[in-house]
Amino acid sequence: MTTYEIVEEALGRLDSAKGEVILDLSPVSRIDSRGLRALENLTATAGAKGVQVALRGVNVDVYKVLKLANLKWLPM
């Protein structure tokens, strides 16, 4: 499963989220620009709805990219 697919699934659940959405990125070994843009869109959309995004299972390489992108997410 790609980051984009995981994020698209999470976007569909935002309306029913109760304050936090947790994404399990353990199957993701790398993140491309499409996945990064999808995550940026998710965090912006979630923030507008008062929902925080938490990530779990993030490997080191993906973490470095996310850190450089300065996304507003909660590590787990």
* Domain count across the chain: 1
pLDDT at 38 (0 to 100): 92
- 76 or 11: which leads in pLDDT: 11
pLDDT at 72 (0 to 100): 62
**Segments forming the whole domain that contains residue 59:** 3-75
Helix (H/G/I), strand (E/B), else coil: 69: helix
Count Cβ atoms within 10 A of the Cβ of residue 20 and give its class: 0-12 exposed, 13-18 middle, 19 or more buried. Answer: exposed
* Cα pseudo-dihedral 20, 26, 32, 33, rounded to 10: 0
- pLDDT tens-digit map of 10-64: 998 888 888 888 999 999 999 998 999 999 899 889 989 999 989 999 999 998 9
Read off the CATH number of the domain in which 41 is found.
Answer: 3.30.750.24
pLDDT at 74 (0 to 100): 55
